[in-house]
A = this chain, B = another copy of it.
Amino acid sequence: MKKVNNIAVLTSGGDAPGMNAAVRAVVRTGIYHQLNVFGVMYGYRGMLKNEIFPLESKSVANIIQRGGTILKTARCKEFYEAEGRRKAYENLKKHNIDGIVVIGGDGSFNGAYKMSQEFDIPCIGIPGTIDKDIAGSDFTIGFDTAVNTAVEAIDKIRDTADAHDRLFIIEVMGRDAGYIALHSGISTGAEHIMTPEHLIDIKDIIEDLQTNERRRKLVNIIVVAEGSIAGGAEEVARQVKASCPQLDTRVCILGHIQRGGSPTCQDRILASRMGYAAVEALLEGTNNVMVGIVNNKIQYTPLEQAIKAKEHLDPEWLKIVKILAS
């Protein structure tokens, strides 16, 4: 097993609350093991541009509670090319970096995987994405914060929905996965939840709204994932209005507020554990894996398998939604 001496940490892809807590854990665990730790700015783009700086313990003081990422993040097309990755690798070598921790989503892991294959540089992935859709981990950093932000927003909207007897169609994030919609919908008592996974047809929802109206239940919340099969909130509203013109229907798109904010306790702990475990893995020679949490235990998954999970949401959830909102 080759000894690691100098490691780099970066955040990549969309930002997620808790990324700073993970950066802090990587830096301090590295320093505790007498490694030199470098921060790469703007993800892979900074690797290509050699925006690589040494980090000390105090560089990460007082950031565990901050949203965003002090290392910033960016998308980087050049890194998709072998030529780009070579340039990145050469910059790492200038700093004698012999281990990398990448905090990001499946696209970022794919990049790391390729680099680890092309060059002799071990990479560890940490799942940082609000979407909770990475195979190999029950949770991803940022999900718990994002759903709680969505829940607080929907609670507020329900106040005004109740005051006016309105139907609100609320769009939450989730292009490929319905977890944010499902969790925020259940916990705000939403009458319907629409996700990228085909769980319920919009025709059934419209029929139900018409039944509700006959029962004079006029307040309804529909939570729609942005990647819902039936389209986003605007499209769903268009169809609902066409079929239920007498309902007072409004649309809210929660948008980017779901990415920011101070991370919840769970996200901070998850990020701390994963950052710690990522460095431990590098030291033990367990390379080219993603650190995940499965049944509340750290588990490592080969980077090439740490892709978007294509699990089906358990349809029993929909039954629960229906029963509890009735």
Contact = CB atoms under 8 A, between A and B. Distances in A.
A256 B168 contact: yes
| Interface pairs A-B: 7 shortest CB-CB | A156-B260, A159-B260, A67-B159, A187-B268, A68-B159, A15-B163, A295-B295
B323 A163 contact: no
Interface in A1-47: 11, 15, 17, 19, 21, 24-25, 28-29, 31-32
Interface of A: 11, 15, 17, 19, 21, 24-25, 28-29, 31-32, 57, 62, 64-69, 72-74, 138, 144, 147-151, 153, 155-160, 162-165, 168, 183-184, 186-189, 250-257, 259-262, 264-266, 268-269, 272-273, 276, 295-296, 320, 323-324, 326
10 contacts: A62-B158, A62-B189, A72-B165, A74-B164, A148-B264, A148-B265, A151-B265, A155-B261, A156-B260, A295-B295
Contacts of A150: 265
B257 A153 contact: yes
Report the copy number of this chain in the oligomer. 4
Contacts of A168: 256
Contact of A253 (B72, B189, B253, B261): B253
A265 B68 contact: no
A107 to B, nearest CB: 15
Which applies to chain A's interface (DSSP): helix, strand, loop or mixed? helix
A308 to B, nearest CB: 20
Contacts of A28: 323-324, 326
A257 B157 contact: yes
Contacts of A255: 251-253
